Structure 1
Amino acid sequence: MTNAKQTHYVGSAGLAFAERIEMNKLSRLAAKGWLLESFAFLGYRLRRGTPRNLVYVLDIRRLKQDEREEYFHIFEAGGWQHVCSQGELHIFAAEPGTEAIYTDPSTARDKYARAVRVGQSATLLMAALTLAGSGLRYAGEVWGNSTLIPYIGVGASLVGLTLLVPSIMVYAAYWLRLRFSKA
């Protein structure tokens, strides 16, 4: 058997937009023997293993290096095994019937409030990059002493704008989830 058959890439619809659907998809794949290994670009990397009935759950939390061990230990004590992390996104797995991580509406609201803060920061950063790039472009054209500055400005604006749109979408999705969650 080749190594290529031992790993599998699965695309994601976006955790901000389809968190429950994504976690259910990962559970169905685990039952077929494709276990989540890590996040991948716009999706997940799965590894072939023994089929298992697993429930996956996402937590969103910014962790300092000295908080990581205790954070993962708390979940482990509750029956949840840390699977992978990407930035502030952490996925855990457990056997069906394990007590849910978020058992009341207020803790779920806290999770989405953290996600809104992250989305807001990313959106503001991309907006600033877009505006700074536009400013460089304008300054380069006005001063006219360099042809490089307007090109740098255009590049920065394009990168900022390209990332600004998805940042706004993620921010809005989590904001709506927070707004309409029961407290």
Structure 2
Amino acid sequence: MGKEVKYVPSGGLLLSEDKDIKKLSELAKEGWILESFQKLSFKLIKGEPQDIEYCIDYNNEKDDLDEYLSMFENSEWKHICSYEGYHFFKAPKGARPIYTDQETLTTKYEKQYKIMEKVVIGTIALIVGCLLGMGFISMINNGSNILRGLKIVLSSGAGAGIGILIPFIICTIIVYKKIKN
């Protein structure tokens, strides 16, 4: 007989971290225990009800991952899984929080902010490049089908870039506010 599995959508690791971990703790009381995170959903396995807390931490340093995870070995927080720099932990209800002061919590969000900032800058560069390319093609347009096709590709790239940029700007603003609070 296989395990009972349930997938629960995440509100977004940056957008609703507190809401997600609260929801996971409530589901653990019903016996749905976090096993992994995939894309935008939590994979839960049916087991014994548990009164536990969850914490999501961010550390994208791949070189010191073993050292990072070993910091938790002697604590009440047990590593569950990792996904693209996000690390999921659980501990018994009432365990000492991973982040006990504003300074360390700010460091967590600063790491996320640096990544978001790079994505935003890269996406803006993509959009500007596409728009400049379209302008250049418009200047030399001689009715060529190749140039028209290239202009369509560049305008699609600019549109996709804008579509990508908006949510990343929103996430960057949210992380920036967490740093400043």
Q: TM-score, normalised by structure 2?
A: 0.88
Q: Unpaired runs of 5+ in structure 2?
A: none
Aligned-partner Cα distance in 2 for 1:7–1:26 = 14
Partner of 1:140: 137
What RMSD in Å do the two structures reach over aligned CA positions? 1.9
Structure 1 residue 97: Cα displacement: 2.5
Deviation per residue, 1:109-167 (Å, 9 max, x gap): 11111122122112112212222222233333333242221122122112211110110
Larger Rg: 2
Instruction: Figure out how many residues of one structure are paired with residues of the other and give that number.
Output: 177
Aligned-partner Cα distance in 1 for 2:156–2:168 = 18
Aligned-partner Cα distance in 2 for 1:31–1:113 = 33
Partner of 1:170: 171
Deviation per residue, 1:61-97 (Å, 9 max, x gap): 12123x1111111112212111222212211111112
2:45 alignment partner, one of 39, 47, 56: 47
- The SS at the match of 1:57 is strand
Structure 1 residue 15: Cα displacement: 2.6
Written as runs of structure 1 = structure 2, the 5 A alignment for 1:92-103 is 92-103=89-100
Aligned-partner Cα distance in 2 for 1:74–1:92 = 12
Partner of 1:68: 65
- The SS at the match of 2:44 is strand
Structure number having the greater helix percentage: 1
- The SS at the match of 2:16 is helix
Q: Which amino acid aligns with 2:76?
A: G
How high is the sequence identity, in percent, across the aligned residues? 29
Q: Unpaired runs of 5+ in structure 1?
A: none
- The SS at the match of 1:98 is coil
Structure 1 residue 57: Cα displacement: 0.6
Written as runs of structure 1 = structure 2, the 5 A alignment for 1:11-160 is 11-65=9-63, 67-144=64-141, 145=144, 146-160=147-161
